[in-house]
Amino acid sequence: MKRIIHTENAPAALGPYSQAIEVDNTLYVSGQIPFVPETMQIISEDVQDQTKQCLENVGAILREAGYEYEHVVKATVFIKDMNDFPKINEVYGKYFEKNSPARACVEVARLPKDVKVEIEVIAAKLK
């Protein structure tokens, strides 16, 4: 069965998609950009602040669905400039200190609202 996840503690979707969908104990979290949920504004221009806000938004969605960061099995990080990779990694590593998920990191030409980073995850619970 498919369950749609929505929380006011993460930014509202900017288009026709859900914040997350759960199917068979697997949660698919849509890409999160660095919007502050209360204002729907970008946190700042600093890539580390943006990375932290993306991961905080992911965390709010995970918790709403009954998951935690430790349940994340795959992450995809989209970045505007690969030169920011070390700064992004520094913040990212604080959220996944042990049993880090599989991950892809891709430099892209442009992200929504011209942010510097977007992060999506897949989380799973063993039965």
The string of pLDDT tens digits covering residues 75-118 is: 999 999 999 999 999 999 999 998 899 999 999 999 999 999 99
Band the pLDDT of 127: cuts 50, 70, 90. Answer: low
Q: How confident is the model at residue 55 (pLDDT cuts 50, 70, 90)?
A: very high
Tokens of 81: 């400039």
Name the band, by pLDDT with cuts 50, 70 and 90, for residue 14. confident
Instruction: Say if pTM beats, i.e. exceeds, 0.85.
Output: yes
Q: State the helix-helix crossing angle for 47-64 and 85-95, rounded to 10 degrees.
A: 30
- In the numeric block, which tokens belong to residue 102? 């599989």
Backbone angles phi, psi at 43, to 5 degrees: -60, -45
- Average pLDDT over every residue of 122-126: 93
Q: Supply the CATH classification number for the domain 2-124.
A: 3.30.1330.40
Where is 58: in which H helix or E strand? helix 47-64
Report the candidate in 20, 5, 38, 2 with the shortest Cα–Cα distance to residue 119.
Answer: 20
Catalytic residue among 36, 42, 73, 105: 105
Q: What percent of the chain has pLDDT over 90?
A: 93
**Cα–Cα distance measured from residue 111 to residue 31, given in angstroms and rounded to the nearest whole number:** 10
User: What tokens appear for 72 in the block?
Assistant: 């994340």
The full set of domain ranges for the chain reads: 2-124
Extract the runs of DSSP E, i.e. beta strands, from 16-114. 20-23, 26-32, 35-36, 41-42, 72-79, 102-107
Please say if 54 is a catalytic residue.
no
